[in-house]
Structure 1
């Protein structure tokens, strides 16, 4: 029975946290969905939340849901701004999307303290410094 199910493995899709700018008050960060495929993805739903331990207590952020109607091939879409205060938590992005009539989904988790300067790379397509999970 399981062999009859389609292999809907998420490939060539990434979630990235990009450094947008820096000023005296701090850094500005945004979260992006990057479509590295040669085809569009549609009806994209992303659930974002943070959780973990801070100062010895369990902490949870609000759960936010984002809908993006279409992400073209080799392009990106802005998901949300993200506050540096949450970088000490696990930041989870649960992605679901369609290609034709097939649904795909995957959970992307930025672990605590993984969004740091030493992990920055030049993000493909977005062309900004950031941390990416593919």
Structure 2
């Protein structure tokens, strides 16, 4: 059913998106799909990499590692933006078409009141693309 799964990745927060990474790997294994990890970085130095080229190298290594761990085809695509925070939704929507994804698996947060003013990225992606979008929430806190 799915041939290419796109997973937005922020290399600065890999631990936080681990549930989405696991979900994407499980779906890719089930459908025999490729996983394309997409990262958006600034054109200026950041906390993960000093240049977009260095970020690409790190994302390529991350994709290769994920592919080996999960035994599936994996690729990486880095997109540069002068303002990744402001441009993220539009850049991800373009990336869906650019990479030929037919499913997007992305991490999201639990709903908050602020979402009425500033909606979550996953919600906007889901409402502005024709491909399926699987939003993965963090595990519920044990209490």
Do these two structures clear the TM 0.5 threshold for a shared fold by scoring above it? no
Task: Give the greater-gyration-radius structure (CA).
Answer: 1
Bigger helix fraction: 2
Q: Return the TM-score normalized by structure 1.
A: 0.31
Q: Return the TM-score normalized by structure 2.
A: 0.30
